[in-house]
Structure 1
Amino acid sequence: MTIDRQALGFGVGAHAPYAADAWKTRGRLFEEGGSPTRSDFQRDRDRIVHTTAFRRLKHKTQVFIAHDGDHYRTRLTHTIEVAQIARALARALRLDEDLAEGVALVHDFGHTPFGHTGEDALHAALEPYGGFDHNAQSLRIVTKLERRYAEFDGLNLTWESLEGLVKHNGPLVDGKGEGTRGAVPQPILDYCALHDLELFNHASLEAQVAAIADDIAYNTHDIDDGLRSGYLTFDMLDEVPFLAGLMREVRDRYPGLEDSRLTHEIMRRQITHMVEDVISVTQQRLKEIKPQSADDIRSAGLTFASFSDEMAVTDRQIKKLLFTHIYRHPEIMRIRAGAAEIVTDLYSAFMAAPKEMQSHYWYDQIETMPEHVKARHVGDYLAGMTDNYAIAAHRRLFDRTPDLR
């Protein structure tokens, strides 16, 4: 695949016809006046950055828990890296960069403490009440749980930002209304009853580049953090021909390079190759389909922004490398078991004694709520916790807290 450099958006003021139009948004659930200085997508992005949920990401696990060291990625630094890659892709494809950046910045709002381990534990606890899904929780946060504005709960984001949040990984239902990845989480269905996000369509191209940027970011920085931690070695990278080739290229050009610089030179090349691959694939599909509006993108029935077949193979090989040597490493699994125990214990404690949720805003009412409503509020409270806050809460309520070091 090759890139059409004349079609790149660098230095081009106008968006492509298939880009989302910030001045013709489908609107917000609660009508608001426009801004004379910012587009609606700029306002969405700015609202996202100023949330409590965004600040909490700095103390939520990406892969390595905060105790492991200050130099490892957190959910916040991961989010910032995703946003940078999403902006780069959006600019090259002449999309609305503010919308792409906003979707990237909000995509992990719903993650629990301790990463996917916490999500799995909370899903198991809440399974009798519909389970837990971090994407649905992100929607709850930006439509209900952030309590900042006088006239509405949540952030009152535009339709385009919300559909990007919900559908950045593709449609949630097929033409028959059946879930494409299992049952659609109830919080998403509840919101769509008020403000239809068209779950049967793909999202905008801005949301699609945010989704692929997420893959590029964590494929790269999990290798970086893995090498720093010692769970990965340079020899292990030889298991992926693409990475082996990058190592040879760097070592041939810079013989004797120290490990930290060698790692960075490999990682920056990895990001560049993956970004350019996505641009090339997306350009080719745009030429074939010739969409003339953002709605043409949504209804085309395919994902425009994705890897080539060759890079998709590399993507799978990298994920296998990460699962084998990091995510399923015995020491990581020990830590994950302890983290799951903390989340499970806290859920049980808060269900038994809701007033132990000392700062929860439903403090005065929660004990009289129906069981399923109470469970959802406990889930909201737990999902909002940072790693540090969850550990501290567990130490306050239990005699023994698992060691996550």
Structure 2
Amino acid sequence: MNFRERQEELEKSYLSPYAALSSKSKGRQRYEDKCSVRTDFQRDRDRILHSKAFRRLKHKTQVFISPEGDHYRTRLTHTLEVAQIARTISKALRLNEDLTEAIALGHDLGHTPFGHTGEQVLNDLMKNGFRHEEQSLRVVDVLEQGKGLNLTWEVRDGIKNHTTRGNPATLEGQVVKISDWIAYINHDIDDAQRAGILEPEDLPEDLINILGRKHGQRIDTMIKDVIVTSFGQPFIKMSDEIYDATRKLREFLFKNVYVGSAAKAQENKAKMMLRLLFEHYTNHPDSLPPEFIKISKEESVERAVVDYIAGMTDVFAIKKFQDIYMPSSWPLET
């Protein structure tokens, strides 16, 4: 046996009967020879980690647009927190950590600049709508490296189905879905408190009595509850009490942070910029980079423009807006 085959045998002997085995993957869209060292899910994780789309996440908004400070979450740090939570749960439940990590690292690759604000703009502008989970799948299937990453079916399924709307086919995908929830609810509270939008005493007393008063305590409560409730079961879920408290805490964030708070003070500017960028590139598709001009001819101009804008970082979108719409300085004659 080579190293990969030994790893596959270890999975069979150790993992839960409900875990996804790398040796039983439904495979890739295009055939590839197996690696002699890494399992298919390990290769998928590495491909995502080394992708340009993954690196761009460091300059994409999580909640706060252009925050002043080094400690606010970005889309990249959110992704890493999701991966850490998901791996903890998967390890305890003896699920496939490599598959879990690959899905977690890839789940937000298609997110737009300026967070969900950007997603809303593209959803309004695109005829068939825009959802970041579908764009994440398009990144790994088509856009990255000009041909996609040719990931396994299980990773692609987990990426596409990580949102509330989705229904992942594997338990590893279900773990990422619930870990995404745990991560953003808690780190958005942390960031909102850092920004002075929330004070610790603002959090509903009945909910923090159940979940915990501090950031780490709440995460610990949620993770342990998922593990205990899901152990030995063909599903991933929270207990009714913890789920209800977590859901209500999320609703509290929508009312006090996500909608109408100071965290959204720059939203209208971001929306305006993205709408004008969409208008410009739709009217001037030849000004797109070559790979997107190719998409405009093979699919549609709208598809190419949305792919280009969705891949932008916040900083790059602002720069392109300035280049197109803002007058540049020029030397005056004396």
Task: Give the match for residue 392 of structure 1.
Answer: 319
Is the Cα–Cα contact under 8 Å of residues 168 and 208 in structure 1 kept in the other structure? yes
Is the Cα–Cα contact under 8 Å of residues 210 and 242 in structure 2 kept in the other structure? no
Q: Deviations over 1:216-236 (max 9, x none)?
A: 101110011011000010110
Q: Deviations over 1:205-258 (max 9, x none)?
A: 011001100001011100110110000101101x1423256666xxxxxxxxxx
TM-score of the aligned structures, taking structure 1 as reference length: 0.74
The CA distance in 2 between the partners of 1:202 and 1:109, in whole Å, is: 17
Task: Give the match for residue 123 of structure 2.
Answer: 123
Aligned residue for 2:43, secondary structure, equals helix
Task: Give the match for residue 226 of structure 1.
Answer: 192
Deviation at residue 306 of structure 1 after TM alignment: 1.7
Task: Give the match for residue 300 of structure 1.
Answer: none
Aligned residue for 1:361, secondary structure, equals helix
Task: Give the match for residue 160 of structure 1.
Answer: 154
Q: Deviations over 1:101-132 (max 9, x none)?
A: 11111010111000000000011111x2x121
Is the Cα–Cα contact under 8 Å of residues 170 and 203 in structure 1 kept in the other structure? no
Q: Which runs of 4+ in 1 moved over 4 A?
A: 169-172, 244-248
Deviation at residue 364 of structure 1 after TM alignment: 6.8
The CA distance in 2 between the partners of 1:40 and 1:365, in whole Å, is: 29
Residues 245 and 309 of structure 1: CA distance in aligned 2, closer, same or farther (over 3 Å): closer
2:302 alignment partner, one of 375, 378, 383: 375
2:138 alignment partner, one of 137, 140, 165: 140
Q: Deviations over 1:20-78 (max 9, x none)?
A: 01122111111111111111100000001000110000000000123432210000000
- The alignment's C-alpha RMSD in Å is 2.2
Deviation at residue 321 of structure 1 after TM alignment: 2.0
Task: Give the match for residue 283 of structure 2.
Answer: 352
Is the Cα–Cα contact under 8 Å of residues 295 and 301 in structure 2 kept in the other structure? no
Aligned residue identity for 1:54: F
Aligned identity (percent) is 45
The CA distance in 2 between the partners of 1:245 and 1:273, in whole Å, is: 9
Residues 336 and 36 of structure 1: CA distance in aligned 2, closer, same or farther (over 3 Å): same
The CA distance in 2 between the partners of 1:60 and 1:109, in whole Å, is: 10
Aligned residue identity for 1:378: V
Q: Which structure would you say has the larger RCO, counting Cα contacts within 8 Å and 6 or more residues apart?
A: 1
Residue correspondence of structure 1 range 169-248 to structure 2 within 5 A: 169=163, 202-237=168-203, 239-244=204-209
1:322 alignment partner, one of 253, 256, 260: 253
Deviation at residue 165 of structure 1 after TM alignment: 1.4
Task: Give the match for residue 337 of structure 1.
Answer: 268
Aligned residue identity for 2:45: R
Provide structure 1 residue ranges, at least 5 long, that are not aligned to the other structure.
1-11, 173-200, 249-265, 287-296, 298-303, 401-405
Task: Give the match for residue 183 of structure 1.
Answer: none
Aligned length: 316
Provide structure 2 residue ranges, at least 5 long, that are not aligned to the other structure.
1-11, 328-334
Task: Give the match for residue 274 of structure 1.
Answer: 222
The CA distance in 2 between the partners of 1:391 and 1:363, in whole Å, is: 21
